[in-house]
Amino acid sequence: MNEYFKQRRLAAAERLGIAQEKIPRHVAIIMDGNGRWAQQRGEPRFVGHREGGKRVEPITLAASDMGIEAISLYSFSLQNWKRPAMEVDFLMQLFTRYLVEIRGMLKDNNVRLKHLGRIEGLPSLLVDELLKTEEITSGYDGLTLGLALNYGSREEVVDAAKSIAEKVASGEITVDDIDETLVSDNLYTAGLPDPDLVIRTSHELRMSNFLLWQSSYAEFYIAGKFWPDFMVEDFEEAIVKFADRSRRMGDVKPVN
């Protein structure tokens, strides 16, 4: 971990009253409840998606200020294509506009964008802006913002298996070279630490096909708020609660 992250983690730890080493390196968020948030207010679902989009920047900046190395946001799953066409079209337009609008924020805060998911099937204009934003931010070495767009965890593992199989077939590697590290290196999240903390909003208790391999030992925090109501103070509360957990990773601490 470089000095950039260490200084931010130290300042955040002092402010939140937790140990510096207790701040997670990677936080994954299942941003749930946009549609229900709108429906409770008598609004169409797209209003909830629009309001939910407004929460991304402050939460990303809060993570950056804490010295968190990566934050992955579950934005649109492969299963979400089954939603009504009008809702899907609105979301694709929202993502396209968002990828342009956040470039200034990413630049000003040294944040790198990394797409997590399949490019195939996304609208061409969205793909253009996604790849352009990735390219523009590729040299930034602060927080990595992982945008899980057109994503499914089982499909991610399938894609990794195909990539590894192709390498075996070409003679680049042998079957004996396949281990957990190789699998991880062929996932969309290659190069990122595994999530330490998974946050899910709207009080739901599902993984929803998100980072299943990577979250094997992650801690979970269930927020009783819809995503549009999830504020920076809620994010900080999740970090403080995480810091109070005992992470044994399958080990058992000796009893004195």
Is 128 annotated as catalytic? no
Three-class SS of the chain: CCHHHHHHHHHHHHHHCCCHHHCCCEEEEECCCHHHHHHHCCCCHHHHHHHHHCCHHHHHHHHHHCCCCEEEEEEEEHHHHHCCHHHHHHHHHHHHHHHHHCHHHHHHCCCEEEEECCCCCCCHHHHHHHHHHHHHHCCCCCCEEEEEEEECHHHHHHHHHHHHHHHHHCCCCCHHHCCHHHHHHCCCCCCCCCCCEEEECCCCCCCCCCCCCCCCCCEEEECCCCHHHCCHHHHHHHHHHHHCCCCCCCCCCCCC
Question: Which residue in the list 34, 65, 80, 109 is annotated as catalytic?
Answer: 80
Which residues belong to the active site?
A: 32, 80
